[in-house]
Amino acid sequence: MIGAVAKTGQGEPPEEARHSWAVIVRLSWPLVLTMLANAGVGLLDTWIAGFFGAEAQAVVGLSMQLVLLINATTTAISVGAQALVARFVGARDAEQAALASRQALLLGAGLSLAVIPVVWLAAPALFAAMGAGAELQASGAAYLRALLWGILPMDLLIVMSAILRARALTRVSLVGSLAETGVWATFSLLLGWLNGWGLAGLVAGFVAGKLAGFGVLAYFFWKMELLQMAQSRWQIQIAWFRRIMRTGLPAGFQVVIRNAGMMAFFAILAMLPQPTQLVAAVSIGFRIESVAFLPVFALNIAAATLVGQSLGAGRPEEAQRAVWRIVWLGTAILSAFGLIFLVGADWLAARFTHDPLVRGHAVDYLRIMAISEPFLAVAMVLNGALQGAGDAKAPMWGVIIFQIGVRVPLAFLLAVVCGIGSLGAWWAMTISMVAQAAGMVWYFRRGHWRERTV
């Protein structure tokens, strides 16, 4: 049945109800489970690192920020591929959808192999840029370099998942994600915790999980013949590379800018007392938050798919209706989680650290960030909708203006100049997110995204 769907180029929502709640739920629930699984394994790694001290938690937290930075090129490719493939699926052009998919995978593999040696050489400098001390730089660089063994399968997994999402085959993508997180969690528990390998065990889990997820999706791609409609063989076509990157490059820049902002934010924390404990607290808080915002990121992806397919079919009004429904759903979810963080911050933080300083900072972080959660949902869903329309420049500028232009100076002003300390830094994050959500709503309502071509 799945193979038949792929071969006929189907998999998109029914034409008469692309914006309905039923379609939104059908697209979103596998993505929500995927994101929850990813959040769960991230929490597990943070929990295991906590047994080896605040420095180990800081290494894991900073390294994951750098992995996100490494993924900037892959993000660009996946966003470009999803926008293009979704348009072709909406227009029922199976040949072009298959061709775009092939070229995206070739581009993803090539850029991944190019980035790996650069990061290997730059690892110590990257940790130094985030204000890490000499010991943290050494242990962090070693950990990050070990993670690089899983970067190629991870990048291919990301691109393949984007192609499946564009075809509304989110349940297939879920199978790959469950294989990835299941293997990752098992190795991390057995080697990192039970065998006492610590960070080395977490690396083994990361690499094994990425290989498992890639292997499962590669099997489905072969079984479902998702790439067989393209007449060309596996040949590089520069024109397609340019088309994919033109659509997705702003999303890649957005990742770079966002992570540059986080690096600057960590550098500000390094100016404060107890910087290692502060970074560990942020790592814990961010992992706990991910349980909330990763399901909403699933709605971000659903919005991108529905907008791309609706625009490909020439129905922008359906796209707009779907987006506002998803915005309301995401806001409800993150408002509920915000209340949980506000009330249960101390209990949640205590699950991940025995260090009273780290725990106290994490509690403050969660309670202040709880205010920003519904605004984060608005920004995330509209970001996905605009990227699905091929208008990735607007979200990129939103990150530049609010997460660099507002957050970083405000954090420095409140935390360092005014002497408020870490509380000032947390408030800067919340204020900038509220402002970013307002800016995204203003831009989306203007409607320029309806006229974008990819």
According to the model, what pLDDT value does residue 7 have? Answer: 43
According to the model, what pLDDT value does residue 21 have? Answer: 67
Confidence of residue 379 (pLDDT cuts 50, 70, 90): very high
Dihedral angle over CA of 63, 68, 72, 73, nearest 10: 80
What is the separation, in whole angstroms, between the first and last Cα of the chain?
31
Tokens of 272: 């404060």
**Number of neighbours of residue 4 by Cβ within 10 angstroms:** 9
Rounded Cα distance between 431 and 411, Å, is: 10
Residues ≥6 apart with Cβ < 8 Å to 102: 227, 230, 232, 234
**Which span out of 159-168, 221-230, 373-382, 387-396 was modeled with the highest average pLDDT?**
373-382
DSSP assigned state of 13? P
According to the model, what pLDDT value does residue 372 have? Answer: 94
Residue 282 pLDDT > 80: yes
Residues ≥6 apart with Cβ < 8 Å to 194: none
- 3-12, 424-433, 437-446: least confident range: 3-12
| 62-103: pLDDT as tens digits | 888 788 778 888 888 998 898 899 888 888 888 888 888 989
According to the model, what pLDDT value does residue 321 have? Answer: 86
Residue 168 pLDDT > 60: yes
Which residue type is seen at 137?
A: Q
Tokens of 386: 């605009």
Only one residue has tokens 């608005």, namely: 378
Rounded Cα distance between 77 and 81, Å, is: 6
What's the pTM?
0.72
Rg (C-alpha) for the chain, rounded Å, is 21
Residue 343 pLDDT > 80: yes
Residue 253 pLDDT > 60: yes
Which residue type is seen at 29?
A: W
According to the model, what pLDDT value does residue 215 have? Answer: 94
According to the model, what pLDDT value does residue 27 have? Answer: 74
Q: Is 10 helix (H, G, I), strand (E, B) or coil?
A: coil
Rounded Cα distance between 331 and 350, Å, is: 27
Please indicate whether residue 108 or residue 46 has the higher confidence score (pLDDT). Answer: 108
According to the model, what pLDDT value does residue 17 have? Answer: 46
User: Do 128 and 137 form a contact (C-beta atoms < 8 A)?
Assistant: yes
Please indicate whether residue 37 or residue 431 has the higher confidence score (pLDDT). Answer: 431
Rounded Cα distance between 291 and 419, Å, is: 32
Mean pLDDT of 233-259: 84
Residue 24 pLDDT > 70: yes
According to the model, what pLDDT value does residue 339 have? Answer: 95
Residue 311 pLDDT > 60: yes
According to the model, what pLDDT value does residue 208 have? Answer: 96
Rounded Cα distance between 144 and 128, Å, is: 13
Confidence of residue 15 (pLDDT cuts 50, 70, 90): very low
**Which span out of 55-64, 277-286, 373-382, 445-454 was modeled with the highest average pLDDT?**
373-382
| 106-155: pLDDT as tens digits | 999 999 999 999 999 999 998 888 777 778 888 889 999 999 999 999 99
According to the model, what pLDDT value does residue 41 have? Answer: 85
Q: What are phi and psi of 52, to 5 degrees?
A: -110, 10
According to the model, what pLDDT value does residue 83 have? Answer: 86
Which residue type is seen at 361?
A: H
From residue 437, give the alpha-carbon distance in Å to each of 237, 248, 251, 291, 375.
38, 21, 17, 20, 5
Residues ≥6 apart with Cβ < 8 Å to 149: 203, 207
According to the model, what pLDDT value does residue 228 have? Answer: 66
User: Do 76 and 252 form a contact (C-beta atoms < 8 A)?
Assistant: yes
Residues ≥6 apart with Cβ < 8 Å to 5: 11, 169, 224
According to the model, what pLDDT value does residue 104 have? Answer: 93
DSSP per-residue string spanning 118-150: HHHHHHHHHHHHTT--HHHHHHHHHHHHHHGGG
Rounded Cα distance between 65 and 262, Å, is: 8
Confidence of residue 453 (pLDDT cuts 50, 70, 90): confident
According to the model, what pLDDT value does residue 229 have? Answer: 56
DSSP assigned state of 12? S
According to the model, what pLDDT value does residue 30 have? Answer: 84
According to the model, what pLDDT value does residue 374 have? Answer: 94
DSSP assigned state of 417? I
Only one residue has tokens 């971000």, namely: 300
Helix axes 170-187, 21-50, angle to 10 degrees: 10
| 183-217: pLDDT as tens digits | 999 999 999 888 888 889 999 999 999 999 999 99
- 90-94, 114-118, 162-166, 292-296: least confident range: 292-296
pLDDT-above-90 percentage for the chain: 40
Dihedral angle over CA of 45, 174, 258, 348, nearest 10: -40
